[in-house]
Amino acid sequence: MYKIMTPGPTQVAENVRIARSWECTNPDLDESFVEFYKNTCDTISGCLNTDHETIILDGEGILALEAACASLIEPGDRVLVLDNGIYGSGFADFVTMYGGAAELYTRPADKPLDSEELKCYLTEHHDYKIATLVHCDTPSAMLNDAASLCSILKSYGILTIVDAVSSMFGEPVDPVDMDILCGGSQKAISAPPGLSFVVLSPDAKAKIKERKTPIPSFYANLKVFFTYYEDKWFPYTMPISDIYGLAQAMENIKKDAALYQRHADCASYTRDRLRSMGLTLYPAEGYSNTVTSFLVPDGMTDKEILGGMLENHNIMLAGSFGTFGGKLIRIGHMGTNATMENVMETLDALEDVLRHLQLKGQENKR
């Protein structure tokens, strides 16, 4: 097995794997599982220091994003799509899929969105029902100040959908002005892929309840969960073993007093080591504490670097895709990955791979 140092999925702790092997009950009929599910949802909300309700969904992180758009957006709603990366612009697909009118607010991908610039823009352009934004745009490792951006949007009565799948529990997230906050199991939570969840503000729940049109989906419909606890009934059979694992992973997070400092230390060390190797970090600013990316050096390819890490050191890193395909290498230091031992081993291996590729390049020039 490879050591996974990718920006999700991440390494999974032994106690999480064991939890997923617990004996199953029937989640459709056993009311004790309804209590377990609700307690797990409440734990997620509690770890985020919010009383907003959490709903766990049976599908990896993308389901949370689609369900947020499907449930909140009605045909004709003007939606401001904050875009400084691949996932940021990608929200427009979900907006239009569910009948919304997407308007892109596009800014350079190598810098975080500027709160003051957005504030100026909204003084004359604020007739939007909803806005979408990404906290950490994983393909480029860009981190936006989601709390500040949402506060500005909220001041105009604009509801917000926030993708925090690859940042949550590796970077502090303040949901106070976020209406639907989206997370996933396989990133900093360090459970296996397969689950996502949404954290809903009272304003978001009210908008969904007061829709004039039906939600054009069942599986991506959040409203069908609104009375699950009172009714002791789920809209579909819940993946009980996955939720057992998620619950254990959240207990690990609850007990981790150094959670955010650990991520910050690993990220800082990673950036310093990469600079010391003469590598160029991407983006130019707005660095994430869950993932770091750097430009593939001249004379090398991403496949050579990734292949060298796998074949010679048994460590899996990630390239990127879309406009960043072939240009960036990404190191995931989130969740269980984020230990100094892991990042030091990874960066020592990377230094060795780059040295061999440089020597190979010099020999080829002779």
The 3-state secondary structure of 326-350, one letter per residue: CCEEEEECCHHHCCHHHHHHHHHHH
- Taking the whole predicted model, whether its pTM rises above 0.85 is answered as yes
Residues 17-40 have pLDDT tens digits of 999 999 999 999 999 999 999 999
- pLDDT band at residue 363 under the 50/70/90 scheme: low
Residues 245-260 have pLDDT tens digits of 999 999 999 999 999 9
Residues 169-216 have pLDDT tens digits of 999 999 999 999 999 999 999 999 999 999 999 999 999 999 999 999
